[in-house]
Amino acid sequence: MNLTSPAIDIPILMVDDRPENLLSLEELLSNHGYELVRASSGNEALLLTLKQDFSLVLLDVQMPGMDGFETAELMRANPKTKHIPIIFVTAGMKDIKFQFKGYDAGAVDYLAKPIEPLILQSKVKIFAELYRQRREIELHKHHLEELVELRTTELSRSADELKTSNEQLLDRNRELQAIEGLLRRQVIESAETHDQLLATEEMLRVQIEEYQAAQKLLNESNTSLQTLFDVSPLAIVVSSFPAGIIREINRTFTADFGYPVDHVIGKTGVQLGLWSNFDERKRFLGLMHEQQDISGFDTEIKTFHGENRSVLLYSTLMDFRNEPCMLIVFLDVTEQKRMENQIRQTQKMDVIGQLAGGVAHDFNNMLTAILGSAELMIRHVQHDSAAMKLLGSIQKAASRSAELTGQLLAFSRKGHNNAVHVRVDTTIHEAISLLERTIDKKITLKTKLIAKNYRVTGDPALLQNALLNLGLNARDAMPEGGVITFSTINVELDSKYCESSPFSITPGQFIEISVADTGTGMTKEILQHVFEPFFTTKEVGKGTGLGLAAVYGTITDHHGCISVTSEPGVGTIFKLYLPLSIGHKNDTASSEELTRGSGGILLVDDEEILRTIGEALLEDLGYRVYLAEDGEHALEVYAREKENISLVILDMVMPRMSGKETLIRLIESSPDIRILISSGFHQEGTADELERLGAKGFLRKPYLRQELYKAVSDAIGDMK
């Protein structure tokens, strides 16, 4: 520590009644770092010393009132101030007596005025140093005391802590002793129950084993349930009840209806758009509420890709992951329904076909008579132009009627099927060249005949007629013009296709003939009825509704099938499938020149009018004609005129003995006999059967002269 340390103030009290003295003292002592305090009387000095500690008092002796000596004595008398050094400053009392009095009063020194500055300064310096040292010692002491006190507090605290831990230790010890006692008791007790414990443990072990076995079984059955759920061929959904939030679906559900699992879980059927009809869902949930169980709920749902599917729903309530749920099984019956629909359609067509066939048969007989009579009459009225004109009208009307009846018969498949080999591409070209004459220039006809094999067995006239019908319909559907395309390709229809088809077709090679147009197309409703006879959307007089019915009949009669696709505003495609011929017969017979025939013909028919016409036509062709009105009569005539008869024309449908029976009997009596079957009506398969029995051919009613001539000359032709 050094003297100038600012840490310690060094206060000096100057006491004098004269301010000028104080000022001169102050001047001498300033600039030494002292704190100089003034007092102008002994009283003031006493007061100040009581308030503050001073290093030194410079005390004037002679002062009015209390003088310096008295002041010093009083300071010495007070323990608080008695240690403060006093230096008397005096002017007059240099006398030693006074000096002693001063020392008695407690002064430590004397300074006589005039004051020698150096002496004053050095004396003051000594006391200042003393004071500083004393203060330092005091501070140090104080610091030490503080330290001691601190240590003492710490010590006492540690002592307290020690005491506490000691008490705690004691407590713990007591506790331990208690526990030890307890343990001892327990050890004794457990020794007693040891056997008991062993028994319990064994029991537990058995129970755990049983539980594990049960758990294993449960796991196994859970796995097999999960497997069942997944491999089930039926789509299954588990959804909460009644909210309908889907919790689980099986793989089949995804496979059948396309919904990915992630997309479905946590959603309702409504959110997925699963229900085609929202009311159906309400009805379903209502039933679940009522009966908790539904079997065979017939409805429609939408697949992920927006397709409608017919399904039967089977549903029951169950607990699934602690939640009431519905287990819903979906049975997809779309295909079944479609088949049922088709079969119903086919059956309907069959019934209508039979009806139409029956009517057409009678019509045909009448028309044969009308046409025949008209042809014969021409010769008689050749010179009467008015009568000729009327006859022409009769012929025209009857021909038109015959055409219609022909279509009806084609539809009912009761018509006559001239089974020869037909080149489909030739038939198509012929049909197109006929169409070109009736079709507007706005319509383009195109062909794409790709099929390499195009021979089918059948009636070329009927097939051509079918193609014409399709072409004319296409024309009618394109009043503003467009394109009609005829195309062919070879296809193979396998057994799977044939079995699922409502048509009776056998697997094998087919030719597919399609007729496509870019016309108006058809709505679903129209499509459902197109093949029905008399179904037409055309104005009265423009459509008969028989065209497609005839096409349908012709194609089914040829053991083929037909399909149609159409889109309103886009167009329509009809596809015909005909089985290809195996082997090779003659192609379409070429029309021969009419030459006159010769020889005798037996004409058997129960209708008198047909016998008359037939006789006239045949005679006109050069034949000699024998007539019979029924089977028995025919047998009789044939037996008698056998030598003169080279051909029998036999009607199939006759009262009493049928045409077939007559045929059998005739062949029995003379195996070489030539018989031509004539009918407007025969059951399917009959033609083949009669051919097998020995018939030489068929003559379809109503027949024209040329047709009659051709059939007859074909049947007896190889005789010549």
Angle at 372 between CA 370 and CA 376, to 5 degrees: 115
517 binds, among ligand ADP, Mg ion, none (CB under 5 to 8 A by kind): ligand ADP
Question: By three-state DSSP, how is residue 338 classified?
Answer: helix
**Least distance from ligand ADP to the Cβ atom of residue 541, Å:** 10
Q: How many residues does the chain have?
A: 720
477 binds ligand ADP (CB under 6 A): yes
Distance of CA 382 to the CA centre of its chain: 80
Residue 632: how many CB atoms within 10 A of its CB?
Answer: 14
For Mg ion, which is the closer residue by CB, 102 or 415? 415
Interaction mask 432-471, ligand ADP, x per CB under 6 A: -------------------------------------x--
**Least distance from ligand ADP to the Cβ atom of residue 406, Å:** 14
Residues 62-121 contacting ligand ADP, CB under 6 A: none
Give the whole-angstrom CA distance, residue 224 versus residue 448.
57
Give the whole-angstrom CA distance, residue 477 versus residue 501.
28
Give the whole-angstrom CA distance, residue 315 versus residue 235.
12
Q: Structure tokens of 720?
A: 């010549």
The sheet with strand 10-15 has its strands ordered as 34-39, 10-15, 56-60, 86-90, 109-112
Of 218, 310, 206, nearest to 257 by C-alpha is 310
519 binds ligand ADP (CB under 6 A): yes
Residue 36 burial (CB < 10 Å; 0-12/13-18/19+)? middle
Residues that bind Mg ion (CB under 5 A): 473, 547
Member of 174, 185, 194, 538 binding ligand ADP (CB under 6 A): 538
Member of 301, 313, 371, 548 binding ligand ADP (CB under 6 A): 548
353 binds ligand ADP (CB under 6 A): no
For ligand ADP, which is the closer residue by CB, 10 or 549? 549
Encoded amino acid at 116, one letter: E
Sole window of 82-90, 92-100, 306-314, 532-540 interacting with ligand ADP (rule: CB under 6 A):
532-540
Q: Structure tokens of 236?
A: 């299954």
Size of the site for ligand ADP (CB under 6 A): 21
Angle at 501 between CA 500 and CA 504, to 5 degrees: 120
Query: What DSSP state is assigned to residue 644?
Result: G
Member of 33, 482, 545, 599 binding ligand ADP (CB under 6 A): 545
For ligand ADP, which is the closer residue by CB, 468 or 712? 468
Report the residue number whose CB is nearest to Mg ion.
547
For ligand ADP, which is the closer residue by CB, 528 or 683? 528
Backbone torsion region of residue 605, taken as left when φ is above 0, otherwise alpha when ψ lies between -120 and 50, otherwise beta:
beta
Answer yes or no: are the C-beta atoms of 419 and 581 closer than 8 Å: no
For Mg ion, which is the closer residue by CB, 430 or 476? 476
Answer yes or no: are the C-beta atoms of 679 and 697 closer than 8 Å: no
Of 463, 438, 425, 421, nearest to 551 by C-alpha is 463
58 binds ligand ADP (CB under 6 A): no
Member of 395, 418, 518, 572 binding ligand ADP (CB under 6 A): 572
520 binds ligand ADP (CB under 6 A): yes
Residue 572: how many CB atoms within 10 A of its CB?
Answer: 24
Query: What DSSP state is assigned to residue 591?
Result: P
Residue 575: how many CB atoms within 10 A of its CB?
Answer: 16
522 binds ligand ADP (CB under 6 A): yes
- Spatial CB neighbours of 614, under 8 Å, sequence gap ≥ 6: 372, 603, 605, 625, 649, 708
Question: By three-state DSSP, how is residue 3 classified?
Answer: coil
Specify the residue for token string 């030194």: 56
Residue 256: how many CB atoms within 10 A of its CB?
Answer: 18
For ligand ADP, which is the closer residue by CB, 68 or 519? 519
For ligand ADP, which is the closer residue by CB, 61 or 431? 431
For ligand ADP, which is the closer residue by CB, 546 or 621? 546
Give the whole-angstrom CA distance, residue 700 versus residue 410.
12
Give the whole-angstrom CA distance, residue 95 versus residue 84.
24
Q: What residues form DSSP beta bridges with 458? A: 420
For Mg ion, which is the closer residue by CB, 282 or 538? 538
536 binds ligand ADP (CB under 6 A): yes
Give the whole-angstrom CA distance, residue 531 versus residue 295.
37
Pairing of strands 308-320, 293-302: antiparallel
Sole window of 33-41, 188-196, 329-337, 541-549 interacting with ligand ADP (rule: CB under 6 A):
541-549
547 binds ligand ADP (CB under 6 A): yes
508 binds, among Mg ion, ligand ADP, none (CB under 5 to 8 A by kind): none
For ligand ADP, which is the closer residue by CB, 543 or 599? 543
473 binds ligand ADP (CB under 6 A): yes
369 binds ligand ADP (CB under 6 A): no
Give the whole-angstrom CA distance, residue 465 versus residue 590.
18
526 binds, among Mg ion, ligand ADP, none (CB under 5 to 8 A by kind): ligand ADP
For Mg ion, which is the closer residue by CB, 542 or 584? 542
75 binds, among ligand ADP, Mg ion, none (CB under 5 to 8 A by kind): none
526 binds ligand ADP (CB under 6 A): yes
474 binds ligand ADP (CB under 6 A): yes
Helix or strand (DSSP H, E) at 641: helix 631-641
Q: Structure tokens of 337?
A: 């329904």
**Least distance from ligand ADP to the Cβ atom of residue 680, Å:** 21
Interaction mask 656-695, ligand ADP, x per CB under 6 A: ----------------------------------------
565 binds ligand ADP (CB under 6 A): no
Report the residue number whose CB is nearest to ligand ADP.
547
For ligand ADP, which is the closer residue by CB, 481 or 545? 545
For Mg ion, which is the closer residue by CB, 264 or 548? 548
Q: Structure tokens of 199?
A: 């028994």
**Least distance from ligand ADP to the Cβ atom of residue 407, Å:** 9
Member of 121, 544, 565, 588 binding ligand ADP (CB under 6 A): 544
Please report, as ranges, the residues that interact with ligand ADP according to CB under 6 A.
469, 473-474, 477, 517, 519-520, 522, 526, 530, 535-538, 543-545, 547-549, 572
